[in-house]
Amino acid sequence: MSSLQILDVSKQYGQTEILKKINIDIDDGEFLVLVGPSGCGKSTLLSMIAGLDTVSSGDIRIGAQRVNDLHPSKRDIAMVFQSYALYPNMSVEQNISFGMEMRGVPKDERAKAVKEVARMLQMESLLSRRPGQLSGGQRQRVAMGRALVRKPKIFLFDEPLSNLDAKLRVDMRTEIKKLHQRLGATIVYVTHDQIEAMTLATRIAVMKGGELQQLGTPAEVYNTPNTIFVATFIGSPSMNLVPSRLERDGDAGGLALLVSGVDGAAPLRVALPPQSAAVQAYAGRELIAGLRPEAIGNGNLVKSASTREVRAVVEVTEPTGPDTLTLLRLAGHEVTARLAADADYRAGQEAEFTIDLAKLVLFDRDSERRIC
């Protein structure tokens, strides 16, 4: 296994800049997930790491070695594609051992490696089948087996679960996570699915339009998103965003958030818990307040020094089983709350709810960046 460094890497196709000065330092044994909407440059970056595409400027290092000009076959990387890319006329066993055969690995060693990988992926009984006789999930396993058997320095996964149905995708996700925990492998994994990113990654790189928006642990990216884009891309339902104004509250350096009422609703004013100097500097200015749905609750939110009681009007309730997603009008603004499963409101009812300001995230209105 090995570390991987992406240093100031840019990519142009003709005049079009596809990736702009990307910097990501991946430790040995990390599971890094590249996530972002379609077209943001994830696959291009992965292809450059694999050596299937050239780097326009910047460096890629595997361990201590600069690999920009190294042939893909010399990089000691294994790649698992969305399409699996299995040989249809070969058995599972042959598919897994073909690469080793090409590299001149002796027969008994190949057989031993195939057996070990087949046991790890629980597909010993499938070895004599051809890909056409396998389900989607089983084919995905063979593709992973073929990568695993090489014991490469780095694994690259390009949307490996997108062709599977929802249930299988969740199962395979767990399989991949278990595999990473067992092997301690260095993995770079591309997906457009933010839930896959949150559940698998040790760190997430969120990309948009060829730029890295944030690099952090799932908790960092979720709780302290750098930008409004990250705040809305990660998490489902999305973070609630409400235009607000920050005001002085009392003489002791306190602050309050003022939300103007819309559609005839009364405005809302809440006193904030102590804030950083950077937030203090926004006193008297307009900004965007962000609150995750689980930071708006009813009986399910424990009251503390950072919670406040607010009144809101219920618009729609959607029981999901473990909780009830509820669309509320807060000072007339539409927000989603994650309420207790037994939440029982009728549409149009006004009631008291709890908001937790410890989870409040404030963004600059113009730059859309988080105010730290």
Site of interaction with ligand ADP (CB under 6 A): 13, 18, 36, 38-44
**335/354 Cα distance (integer angstroms):** 13
Q: Give least dist CB 159 to ligand ADP, A.
A: 8
Check: CB of residue 134 under 8 Å from CB of residue 142.
Answer: yes
Do residues 336 and 237 lie in contact, with contact meaning Cβ atoms separated by under 8 Å? yes
Query: What sign has the CA pseudo-torsion 90, 111, 70, 77?
Result: positive
Instruction: Kindly report the number of other CB atoms within 10 A of residue 334's CB atom.
Output: 14
Note whether 343 and 298 are within 8 A (CB). Answer: yes
Shortest distance (Å) from residue 207 CB to ligand ADP: 7
Residue 13 vs 87, nearer CB to ligand ADP: 13
Q: Hey, what amino acid is at 125?
A: S
Reference 33, options 161, 143, 120; nearest CA is: 161
Q: Among residues 77 and 259, whose Cβ is nearest to ligand ADP?
A: 77
Q: What is the DSSP letter of 131?
A: G
Compute the least distance from the CB of residue 51 to ligand ADP, in Å: 15
Residue 57 CB, shortest distance to ligand ADP, in Å, is 16
Least gap, CB of 284 to ligand ADP (angstroms): 40
Q: Which of 24/126 has CB closer to ligand ADP?
A: 24
- Closer residue to ligand ADP in complex, CB, 22/357: 22
Q: Indicate the residue among 36 and 152 with the shorter CB distance to ligand ADP.
A: 36
| Contacts with 261 (C-beta within 8 Å, 6 or more apart), sequence order | 267, 268, 331, 332
Q: How far is the CB of 169 from ligand ADP (least distance, A)?
A: 18
Of 38 and 236, which CB lies nearer to ligand ADP in the complex structure?
A: 38
